[in-house]
């Protein structure tokens, strides 16, 4: 009879692996929320959100020569704003990743793109 150690090394999983359902539709759900819920989730009015996206959409940080396309700027901004608008345990990168159907690294990457893009336009709005 095989020992438990032999069984453990002969198979990758002791039970069938399960996948975590990712709600990719959540990424578009935020844009269909009523005004109040949208503001609560992203911490800005919808009109301000659209203006931010329009303002930074053509910044060099969102353009790359890679064969892998970036997600749309509005999605990157939404993920970043939602992340920045949370605190404590609710601000978990993992929670944001699961909500949007991304990996944790993607949430961090989006923040690293969006946050530096905003100050480039600071002088246009703050005197």
pLDDT computed for residue 124 by the predictor = 76
- Tracing tokens 């990758």 back to the chain, one arrives at 12
Residue-wise burial string across 46-78, b where 16 or more C-beta atoms lie within 10 A, e elsewhere: eeebeebbebbeebebbeeeeeeeebebbbbbb
- Cβ atoms of 41 and 82 closer than 8 Å: yes
- Give the lowest-confidence range in 44-53, 71-80, 89-98: 89-98
With cut-offs at 50, 70 and 90, classify the pLDDT of residue 97. confident
* Model confidence, pTM: 0.73
Q: Where are the alpha helices (DSSP H) in 15-126?
A: 26-29, 35-42, 46-56, 73-84, 93-100, 104-117, 122-125
Looking at every residue in the chain, the average pLDDT score rounds to 80
CB atoms within 10 A of CB 24: 11
With cut-offs at 50, 70 and 90, classify the pLDDT of residue 2. low
Handedness of CA 78, 116, 127, 83 (dihedral sign): positive
d(CA 100, CA 108): 13
């Amino acid at each position: 009879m095989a020992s438990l150690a032999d069984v453990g090394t002969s198979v990758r999983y002791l039970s069938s692996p399960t996948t975590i359902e990712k709600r990719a539709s959540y990424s578009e759900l935020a844009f269909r929320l009523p005004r109040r819920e949208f503001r609560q989730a992203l911490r800005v009015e919808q009109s301000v959100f659209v203006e931010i996206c329009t303002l930074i959409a053509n910044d060099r940080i969102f353009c790359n020569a890679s064969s892998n396309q970036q997600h749309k700027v509005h999605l990157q901004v939404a993920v970043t704003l939602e992340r920045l608008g949370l605190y404590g345990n609710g601000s978990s990168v993992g929670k944001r990743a699961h909500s949007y159907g991304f990996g944790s690294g993607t949430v961090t990457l989006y923040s690293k793109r969006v946050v530096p893009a905003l100050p480039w336009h600071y002088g246009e709005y703050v005197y």
